[in-house]
């Protein structure tokens, strides 16, 4: 595969080239990793998409929302890419976005590009691949990149670290209680969107929206937020209501952040974060080689038998890693 041609194809916005490049960054093979690094280095860094992270529990309406929201944006002439970060896909066998019937209209839209989550057991692996896929979509000239994740474990944090704005999608609550949403997630959300504000659920959605708006006002104000953010809105993804308002809120937020310098600062901090993650990832990978596992088992036995001192054995182990 010619990396220069692939880079040219991506820069020209060719979807086939983009799809091939994402396959390349998703590959675990050492030669593919090297080619992917080479490719990423050849891509322009001056194209920026609006990266929107989107999280919500299964059934809340993520794919319905992404389809309606994506269709609205492509209708405005914007190019929209949809990626998924799903650490559970390897376990469950199927991934979010994996089902071809999901986002049927958007998947047929020429201005849209939809990519399921790479299957990986480790969130770290999925995260790196997804982050690189975001970069590829940006280089391919997409205006908006939507990064979807299911609300499990650490995946929201990982997605927030690759997004310019983070949206939490929720369903209307039954009573007037807030639905056990973890405080940590509330704190990374820029926009809480109550979906299914239609039919019988409309008034419950309005109540839930008001409850969250109240809860958000109690959070400590973050420096990167303009007045009135984080904000809670209500939408119906199914009836396509409230989508323009959601888009307007995201624009208001990100325009302000750009003007105030928070956009660049956040991206710089994210780059730093991913660099450090990558260093950790590479160091941990060194522990997984057969040689390292052997050394570890041998030294560990010697320590247990009292033949070696723990600190001294650890120093020897690490110096052997360095020598590799």
The answer to the question of residue 61 lying near ligand GDP (CB under 6 A) is yes
Cα separation of 211 and 232, whole Å? Answer: 9
Cα separation of 144 and 146, whole Å? Answer: 6
88 close to 152: Cβ distance less than 8 angstroms = yes
Q: Which position has the token pair 């799809």?
A: 19
The answer to the question of residue 254 lying near ligand GDP (CB under 6 A) is no
Q: Which of 95, 236, 246, 254 binds ligand GDP (CB under 6 A)?
A: 236
To the nearest whole angstrom, how small is the minimum distance from the Cβ of residue 239 to ligand GDP? Answer: 6
Which range touches ligand GDP (CB under 6 A), out of 4-12, 33-41, 236-244, 264-272?
236-244
Residues in region 286-315 near ligand GDP by CB under 6 A: none
Q: Which residues have CB under 8 Å from 300's CB, separation 6+?
A: 313
The answer to the question of residue 64 lying near ligand GDP (CB under 6 A) is yes
How many chain residues bind ligand GDP (CB under 6 A)? 15
The answer to the question of residue 237 lying near ligand GDP (CB under 6 A) is yes
Cα separation of 57 and 170, whole Å? Answer: 8
To the nearest whole angstrom, how small is the minimum distance from the Cβ of residue 136 to ligand GDP? Answer: 24
* DSSP calls for 75-93: HTT--EEEEEE-TTHHHHS
To the nearest whole angstrom, how small is the minimum distance from the Cβ of residue 122 to ligand GDP? Answer: 23
The answer to the question of residue 58 lying near ligand GDP (CB under 6 A) is yes
Mapped onto helix, strand or coil, the DSSP state of residue 272 is helix
The answer to the question of residue 238 lying near ligand GDP (CB under 6 A) is yes
The answer to the question of residue 62 lying near ligand GDP (CB under 6 A) is yes
Mapped onto helix, strand or coil, the DSSP state of residue 293 is helix
Which range touches ligand GDP (CB under 6 A), out of 36-44, 126-134, 231-239, 300-308?
231-239
Q: Which of 6, 36, 53, 63 binds ligand GDP (CB under 6 A)?
A: 63
* DSSP calls for 204-244: HHHHHHHHHHHHHHHSPPPTT--TT-SEEEE-BTTTTBSHH
The answer to the question of residue 196 lying near ligand GDP (CB under 6 A) is yes
Cα separation of 17 and 88, whole Å? Answer: 27
By beta-carbon distance, which residue lies closest to ligand GDP? 61
Task: Name the residues that contact ligand GDP, by CB under 6 A.
Answer: 56, 58-64, 195-196, 198-199, 236-238
């Amino acid at each position: 595969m010619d990396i220069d041609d692939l880079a040219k194809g991506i820069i020209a916005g060719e979807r086939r080239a983009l799809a091939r490049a994402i396959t390349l960054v998703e590959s675990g093979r050492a030669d593919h990793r090297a080619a992917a690094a080479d490719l990423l280095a050849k891509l322009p860094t001056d194209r920026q998409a609006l990266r929107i992270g989107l999280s919500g529990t299964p059934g809340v309406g993520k794919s319905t929302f992404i389809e309606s929201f994506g269709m609205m944006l492509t209708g405005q002439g914007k190019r929209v890419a949809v990626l998924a970060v799903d650490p559970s896909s390897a376990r469950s066998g199927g991934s979010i976005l994996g089902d071809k019937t999901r986002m049927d209209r958007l998947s047929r839209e020429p201005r849209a590009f939809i990519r399921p989550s790479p299957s990986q057991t480790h969130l770290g692996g999925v995260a790196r691949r997804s982050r690189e896929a975001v970069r590829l979509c940006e280089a391919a000239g997409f205006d908006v990149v939507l990064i979807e994740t299911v609300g499990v474990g650490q995946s929201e944090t990982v997605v927030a670290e690759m997004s310019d704005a983070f949206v939490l999608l929720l369903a209307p609550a039954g009573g007037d209680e807030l639905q056990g949403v973890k405080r940590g997630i509330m704190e990374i959300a820029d926009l809480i969107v109550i979906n299914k504000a239609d039919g019988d659920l409309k008034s419950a959605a309005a109540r839930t929206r008001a409850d969250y708006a109240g809860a958000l006002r109690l959070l400590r104000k973050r420096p990167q937020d303009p007045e009135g953010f984080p904000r809670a809105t209500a939408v119906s993804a199914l009836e396509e209501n409230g989508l323009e308002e959601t888009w307007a809120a995201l624009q208001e937020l990100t325009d302000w952040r750009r003007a105030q310098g928070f956009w660049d600062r956040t991206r710089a901090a994210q780059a730093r974060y991913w660099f450090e993650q990558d260093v950790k990832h590479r160091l941990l990978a060194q522990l997984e080689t057969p040689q390292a596992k052997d050394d570890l088992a041998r030294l560990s036995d010697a320590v247990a038998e009292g033949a070696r001192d723990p600190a001294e054995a650890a120093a020897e182990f690490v110096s052997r890693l360095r020598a590799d």
